[in-house]
Chains A and B, each alone.
Chain A
Amino acid sequence: MVIESNNCQEIDCLKPLQTREGLNQLRDEWKAKLEQPKDIRVVIGMATCGISAGANQVYDAFREEFDKRGMTTIKLEKVGCVGMCVYEPIVEIYETGKDRVSYIHVDPPKVKTIIEEHILGGRPCPGLTLAGLNNDDKSAPECAGFDDLPFYRKQKRIVLHNCGFINPEDIRQYIGVDGYQALADVLTTMTPQDVIDTISASGLRGRGGAGFPTGLKWKFAAANEADQKYIICNADEGDPGAYMDRSVLEGDPHAILEAMIIGGYAIGATKGWIYVRAEYPTAVKRLHIAIDQAEQLGMLGENIFGSGFNFDIQIRLGAGAFVCGEETALIASIEGKRGMPRNKPPFPANKGLWGKPTIINNVETLANIPGIIRNGAEWFRSIGTEKSPGTKVFALGGKITNTGLVEIPMGTTLREVIEDIGGGCPNGKTFKAVQTGGPSGGCLTINALDVPIDFDKLVELGSMMGSGGMIVMDEDNCMVDIARFFLDFTCDESCGQCTPCREGTKRMLEILDKIVNGAAHKKDLDDLKELADNIRLTSLCALGQTAPNPVLSTMEHFMDEYLAHVVDKRCPAHVCKNLTGYYITDRCIGCTKCVRVCPADAITGAVKEHHHIDQAVCIHCGACFDVCPFDAIERR
């Protein structure tokens, strides 16, 4: 069937693509539109981070100006995350034959300037790009398009390739970047076994945390005879501080659908589920749109590409339980029950959703599948390390200059990520540690900076890949406090089913509370370690088994900080409130600023006279310290 694409430009008019030729025709048309646009293409990063920073207002401002000026040929488009969250809202301008220009921190007044100077006047505005930030980065080009930045140069974007470029709410743009070609290949030229062989040969390992070989998992499920099988996309992304899955769902949702259909064909499943956390409303909305459009074009539904293969996908929302990221708990949750994990085996590949063979894959794992089918297993193996081929996306956050999403080939060193891509710690502070693997992981110190990152190396170092949160900490962070933070999280998220996790994490938290409050003895440290080891060995699921990791790893690398709290009753980073006193020094000129912010009325002193903090009343909140313009407040 041929598409009448030149008559109707609306997505609603599209008919199902029943053949490869139909798909290719649409691809060629949209490839041209995306790569060689006839007119200027203005894209606005509108993932959650962009929207939070005000991208909606920027979009409306562009729309309004374009309408007012009758600039009807310009394409204004909402795209996913461009990657440099710290500079949101980001607007990029693509013009055939010219470098793209990336505007940062855009607001409605800047929209007018961009339209008048750049779009109408043909003179890009360097002052509104990265070049306008008065930073020391001499390598930043005069009018920065992001490609030229060190932030992007060391990255290899496979998973995030389309994020920030295509409009996720328009399936034709996905098709224009070779979307659904892999599916067409699979359904028209490959057997399920061919698909499994290709994925196995690629060496792809699960990006949801454990790094289990995806091809092997698919093989297990394919080998099981059953009247019904399922494939589930795990989009629960529970690690607080990781958001690559959200970014893929918001920026490139069709890649996930395509991968799930391919996976379904490979294992013999006709039904897929996407389990998304409810905290991601934008991702959920875009997934719904993507599913509707895929159904409309016949990518989902019956007899896809005339192959006789049927597949459909449903979305299920989480309701705020971290443990539901664990695969057996996730299955219980889809079944409408309390999301509690169960013992394995049987593994879901044998006995999963409603007792049927089920494959659960993480969002990022799936996002790699179409590329592997299109480019071949060898291509994938050529990226990354031997045991961990491909790339990994990290959410780089915390005390780092360029917070954002970075995708690096496996084997890149931590130093390259933190110093070259991340730009180091801001405000001249000293790097202390980086936490990977979230609440299940551990911290890596300066000694680990030159180790190439892959699944196995991180485990060797006492941490883990996890889902890809990478939180940088500097001298102002207290490692005991961080360990307490993660344990507080896991303690709260324990499902309560098994005793070691339910009770043990509570007891550990109590000891950590004693430590940060200066009430602990040295014996408490031994108890903490013993508890940790027991919980690790005896918990039912990986939540409990890994919950002690942040404590164990900080104890290993930062015992001196623990001892300072326990023995000297001192918090070296001045974070733990009860171990930090505030005192006013001679530099005080009596400006009264601190008096005004003190919530406890603990500060006395007349104008232009030396002030004084009443230690009995002080609640150690540090408000005075933060506000003093003369650095006259000292922490001890």
Chain B
Amino acid sequence: MSQPCQCMTISDDDPRYMELRAFIQKEENKQGVAMTALQEAQRLFGYLPLEVHKFISSETGVPIAELYGVTTFYSQFTTSPMGRHQIQVCMGTACYVKGAQKVLDKVIETVGVGVGMTTDDRLFTINAARCLGCCGLAPVMMIDDHVYANIDNVNCIPAIIAKYREDGSRSSK
């Protein structure tokens, strides 16, 4: 099975640039296009390296410095590629008072990198989420689109992570 491309650079003739250009051109609200263009670019590329900033700048006329200012302001924008699996541990108040710190500590211990970091094999990125909005199920963590709810016993976490590791090593063979 082939893996999705994990290469760091994006080539100039990457077809996703065409999509981004089309998006920018049809955006009727030319004022304020910087933010929506960056959001679309992140959706397409998964992250926002310098070359993508350059491209948006040349398409919109917004200086790169200003775009970069926007990118670094908002926590959802990232300038480096993310892991294949996103682990988000909810650190909202409801989860926190029900032991989310322990969940996060266990995830960090199991995966081996800290919050906001990606493992060397680019399998996992760990994030502390502000609030996933399911306070009734606290404490929760989310791996990609799957929600793990009511994690009262953190000792179940290594087995959950191991499952993604196994799938990862199987698909890269």
Contacts and interface: CB of A to CB of B under 8 A. Distances in A.
Interface of A: 48-49, 52-53, 84-86, 88, 238-243, 246, 278-280, 314, 316-322, 333-340, 354, 395, 397-399, 403-404, 435, 438, 469, 471-473, 477, 482, 485-486, 489, 495, 597, 599, 621-623, 626-627
A336 B93 contact: no
B136 A319 contact: no
B165 interface: no
The 3 closest A-B pairs by CB, nearest first: A85-B136, A397-B94, A241-B93
B77 interface: yes
A358 to B, nearest CB: 14
B133 interface: yes
Given A354-B31, A399-B98, A621-B105, A320 B137 contact: no
Nearest to A627: B155
Contact of A314 (B29, B154, B155): B29
A241 B74 contact: no
Nearest to A399: B97
Given A48-B133, A621-B102, 6 more contacts: A49-B133, A52-B140, A239-B131, A395-B135, A398-B98, A403-B138
A403 B33 contact: no
25 contacts: A52-B132, A52-B137, A84-B136, A85-B136, A240-B91, A241-B94, A279-B133, A319-B39, A319-B76, A320-B130, A322-B130, A335-B31, A336-B34, A336-B36, A336-B70, A338-B69, A338-B70, A395-B94, A397-B135, A397-B138, A399-B97, A399-B98, A472-B97, A621-B102, A626-B153
Interface in B90-124: 91-94, 96-98, 102, 105, 109
Contacts of B140: 52
B130 A240 contact: yes
Contacts of A279: 129-133
Given A85-B136, A599-B109, A321 B73 contact: yes
Contacts of A238: 130
Given A320-B75, A334-B32, A623-B155, A477 B97 contact: yes
A616 to B, nearest CB: 19
B147 interface: yes
Nearest to B153: A626
Contacts of A489: 130
A238 B136 CA distance: 17
Interface in B132-151: 132-138, 140, 147, 149
B35 A336 contact: yes
Contacts, number: 144
A241 B154 CA distance: 21
A363 to B, nearest CB: 14
B135 A85 contact: yes
A558 to B, nearest CB: 15
Nearest to B66: A337
A53 B93 contact: no
A469 B97 contact: no
A241 B31 CA distance: 34
Contacts of B135: 49, 85, 241, 243, 395, 397, 403
Nearest to A280: B133
A317 B39 contact: yes
A278 B155 CA distance: 31
B41 to A, nearest CB: 12
Given A336-B34, A397-B138, A403-B138, A485 B93 contact: yes
Nearest to A246: B133
Contacts of A88: 136-137
B93 A435 contact: yes
Given A49-B134, A471-B93, A623 B32 contact: no
A352 to B, nearest CB: 13
Interface string B48-77: 000000000000001000100110011111
Nearest to B129: A279
Given A52-B149, A319-B74, A337-B34, A243 B98 contact: no
Give the interface centre of A336, A397, A477, A486 by most chain B CB atoms within 10 Å: A336
A63 to B, nearest CB: 20
Nearest to B28: A314
B76 A336 contact: no
Given A88-B136, A240-B131, A52 B147 contact: yes
Contacts of B91: 240
B20 to A, nearest CB: 16
A243 B131 contact: yes
Contacts of B38: 319
Given A240-B130, A243-B135, A398 B75 contact: no
B67 to A, nearest CB: 9
Contacts of B70: 336-338
Contacts of B39: 278, 317, 319
A485 B100 CA distance: 11
A49 B31 contact: no
Give the interface centre of A88, A238, A471, A622 by most chain B CB atoms within 10 Å: A471
Nearest to A317: B39
A599 B129 CA distance: 24
Given A240-B91, A240-B93, A399-B97, A48 B75 contact: no
A179 B93 CA distance: 35
B93 A48 contact: no
Give the interface centre of A48, A334, A398 by most chain B CB atoms within 10 Å: A398
Contacts of A86: 136-137
Nearest to A337: B70
B136 A397 contact: yes
A314 B32 CA distance: 13
